[in-house]
Structure 1
Amino acid sequence: MTMEWLNQYFHEVDNFPRPNWESIYSHVENHFKDAEQHELWCEIARTWMIRLKSALPTEYAIHESESFILVASVSDKYVSVFQNYLERTLKKILETLQGVASDDGFGKYVVLIFNDIDTYYSYLSYFYSDDGVYGLSSGVYLNKGYGHFALPHQDASFAESIAAHEMTHALVAHLPIPAWLNEGMAVNIENMFTGSAPLKMDDELYARHKAFWGENEIQ
């Protein structure tokens, strides 16, 4: 499948190729409505990552697994360990939050790991306010256009913790829930999966929560 049509929908901002996702979605709707959508969007993501990689130092590489496309400049061992963790965590979150988390949609998940913090924040600046003021970040799910993950390079165990947290955000992004509840789920999943603070819910605590939380309290 040729993807030359996609080139017209990229523009350079802060030395990165930024896709015009609104135009891309419209083009797909008008020209590829009958195409196999998952593979089409995988190809769109691959083309995007090839262009993004060309804007980064030559040591960056693209690594693909069953559900993820990873762009990073890390060792082969790091790639193997981290990709395996991503695949396991995706399945585990969907099982843990069955009926709540959703993997619906097309294309593979995109994960970017930036070697230096300045490049990381330069990439993020496009997604935030014009004044460029935003908090410190160790990783984020960017739910705009083709949602994707961005992280600064860090120790693999810490990256795994951030990945579990941000992946939870991605898998519940479809829910019309308040930010505090979204963040609470992400924190609890992160703690449960990394073992840093296992969630404990005995019968008494469950009963107290059930008695307190109602339609008026959850807003």
Structure 2
Amino acid sequence: MTVPELLLPLGTCVLLLVTNVYMARRIRAIDEIPLRKNLLLVMVWILPFMGAFMAWTHLPRQPRAPSAVAGPRPDGFSTEEALGELVLDEAHSFPLITHICICNGLPLLDWRALHTWAGSMNDAHRQRFAIEQGQRTWLLHLRDALGPHFHLYESEGTCVLSSLEDSVVVATAAYVASTRKRIRHVLAGVAHFEEHHKSILLVIDDEETYYGCVSNYYPEGGEFALSGGMFIDAGCAHFLVKRADLSAIEPVIAHEMTHNALAHLKLPRWLDEGLAVNTERRLTGALPSLVTPQELRRMHLKFWGETEIQEFWCGQSFFRTDDGNLLSYELARILVEQMGRDWELFARFASNAKRADGGAEAARDIFGTDLGAYACALLEREPDPRWSPNPAAWVTHEPEASPT
């Protein structure tokens, strides 16, 4: 065999190896369901070149560096500096900078101190204005910490902090505003947004910064499941998502805004998540699943037991890092879907359900049913009193974030 004849297959092997290594690194870098990532990796290595091409078509586009802005920006983009002191008038000022700490490289404001200062004013309008200005100033500090390519955009009912292109930011803010209206309609009698409160959306570019931000609201050393977005209800209600194409983050925005709209009820975690998942699906459509209904049924029947169902009722199973996370969201979705068929009755249930007992008392009073027996029926089991919510057996350390 001649040298050229040897070089051709060798070159092909080298090209295949380089292509597959590159695609494998891209796949490992994305935030996806582990099963889906594994399937993409197998496809890359089993099908020469074609597998890499097919995997590439399933990967989200990587965010590009923002291009230079041609001409003036649209109205709504803030250009002001982040001040260290919040001054309303000569008699009312708040040394905001002394109440900010840096955690994971990001500024966190002592919201209790801000609310205490605002509460010292006698006028309710001035109190609300003081808190809004404190939130806005914190966002400006956060903008500066995230980097020069980040900007704060404000519309009538929305604040968006991101590095998105100007036109995409405006479209995102418009989507948030329309989603508020749609959630009010879909969850009539249950959803509530403060009349003067703006929906605050943080769009984070990379996973390291995203999880650094999220970890600030979890117990120290606690584990949390992978997510594409979270609602944070800790002094300043806001939600954050990872950067992606607008169509990819729309379901996350719908899900997290539903949590925002339900926050005033302090619902049991399963009920809150079940409503969020069903509302997301209704507003944006159901996402394709890598798990068939038959496989999902087998997983449910194998996973749930007395211990696991108590984790579900108290909310801890939603923070598991195994299949229990997926199955918790699915069980919550099914429960809410079934119970919500009589919406008027369900709205009464949701308005009265207490987190302390997992909604057990409200279910008995309004539906005349035991939640444990209801779950047993859905999971094809005989009724078992050990499956009813049992707060005495719960050990909870609830974070201040709701993962998606």
Q: TM-score range by the shorter chain?
A: 0.7 to 0.9
> Which of 84, 87, 97 is residue 2 of structure 1 equivalent to?
87
Question: Gaps (5+ residues) in structure 2?
Answer: 1-85, 288-332, 334-339, 346-362, 372-388, 390-404
Q: Give the alignment of 1:152-163 within 5 angstroms.
A: 152-163=242-253
Q: Determine which structure has greater relative contact order: mean sequence separation of CA pairs < 8 Å that are 6+ residues apart, divided by chain length.
A: 1
User: TM-score with structure 2 length normalisation?
Assistant: 0.48
Give 3-state SS (helix, strand or coil) of 2:367's partner.
coil
Given that residues 41 and 107 in structure 1 are in contact (C-alpha distance below 8 angstroms), is that contact kept between their aligned partners in structure 2?
no
Aligned positions, number: 209
Q: 2:370 & 2:189 partners in 1: Cα distance?
A: 22
What RMSD, in angstroms, separates the aligned Cα atoms of the two structures?
2.4
* Structure with the larger helix share: 2
Shift of 1:96: 1.8
* Match status 1:135 vs 2:225: yes
Q: 1:73 & 1:19 partners in 2: Cα distance?
A: 22
Q: Give the alignment of 1:1-219 within 5 angstroms.
A: 2=87, 5=94, 6-30=96-120, 32-34=121-123, 36=125, 37-104=127-194, 107-196=197-286, 206=341, 214-218=367-371
Give 3-state SS (helix, strand or coil) of 2:87's partner.
coil
Give 3-state SS (helix, strand or coil) of 1:173's partner.
helix
- Given the superposition, is the C-alpha separation of residues 104 and 217 from structure 1 closer, same or farther in structure 2, using an over 3 Å criterion? farther
User: TM-score with structure 1 length normalisation?
Assistant: 0.86
Q: Which amino acid aligns with 1:12?
A: I
Shift of 1:106: 5.1
Q: 1:175 & 1:158 partners in 2: Cα distance?
A: 29
Question: Gaps (5+ residues) in structure 1?
Answer: 200-204
Given that residues 114 and 134 in structure 2 are in contact (C-alpha distance below 8 angstroms), is that contact kept between their aligned partners in structure 1?
no
Give 3-state SS (helix, strand or coil) of 1:174's partner.
helix
Q: 1:24 & 1:215 partners in 2: Cα distance?
A: 44
Q: Where does residue 202 of structure 1 map in the other structure?
A: none
Give 3-state SS (helix, strand or coil) of 2:240's partner.
strand
Given that residues 39 and 107 in structure 1 are in contact (C-alpha distance below 8 angstroms), is that contact kept between their aligned partners in structure 2?
no
Range 2-11 or range 109-118, more displaced: 2-11
Give 3-state SS (helix, strand or coil) of 1:110's partner.
strand
* 1:28-84 residue CA offsets vs partner (Å, 9 max, x unmatched): 111x33152443333122101111111111000000011111110011121122111
Given that residues 110 and 149 in structure 1 are in contact (C-alpha distance below 8 angstroms), is that contact kept between their aligned partners in structure 2?
yes
Q: 1:83 & 1:135 partners in 2: Cα distance?
A: 27
- Given the superposition, is the C-alpha separation of residues 181 and 132 from structure 1 closer, same or farther in structure 2, using an over 3 Å criterion? closer
